[in-house]
Structure 1
């Protein structure tokens, strides 16, 4: 009788263990099927713009083409369109715009766009060569850097801009004095432009 009791208890324990294992497996599979798994959420967050291509640590967004502060023509049918220059509460100015290739051939982006500083010689293609000039205060503002000395601007773009295409960009600078509402924008290959800072 004791032996039979032991065999029955073992069968009951094995059955309980099997049920628990199946229940755990079903729960794990269900989590993957409903799209709410942690890994999927992480992937979605990674695809969201962060500091863009900082690409230098700041959001890279498509500029609002309905607003144009200025348009300047460069070499080989290039046009630089500045869509916004916004002062933020953090003490910096973000410039958004586009480089349009209106020429008939692809345009190879020059290394001068990335600036001439030796510290940036090994950096990826960027807009670190862009500067803002406050002529009244006699100050020049360079693109900000992150803690790894990467410029806070669009970078890593294609080495050429195809005919009829546009390269959108952003660049962040230290903000001029609050009383300064207009600055000059300088970028290699384009004439100086005057833009108005909002905010």
Structure 2
């Protein structure tokens, strides 16, 4: 990715203080999504990563990962698979629990959407502590698919998500377009 592309994307990410709670500086990507040029550049960049990594399917993590992953899948000519919070998908699912800073959560995928022939690229908007991404890797492997990599728009490096993900990646690449 060029420096100009990085600057374009970064210029469209807005800081929102004290959201969703006091003391948090939230990284809002909605201005980027509202800018058709910036959104197209992001979609093209992520699609190129997916193709280069040999992915066959793209997983988007709830909820903003869906917004990025669906157009990337179309651009790359691949299927889109949503990984959702527990209880949001109809039919047979696989689930994976994981710990959060203050509690726990669970994500699910349709059991039949991934299989041994799939090389999956996981896409999300922000890598913070890495819990959801880590759980998604385990879930994808339990479904029988292989990991082609993870592509993230924005990494909050000071929160340690990369270090947490390293063991779960098992050598698969983690590519963050912007690291703060």
Higher relative helix content: 2
Higher relative contact order (CA 8 A, sep 6+): 1
The reply to whether TM is greater than 0.5 is no
TM-score by length of 2: 0.27
Higher relative strand content: 2
Query: Highest Rg: 1 or 2?
Result: 1
TM-score by length of 1: 0.26
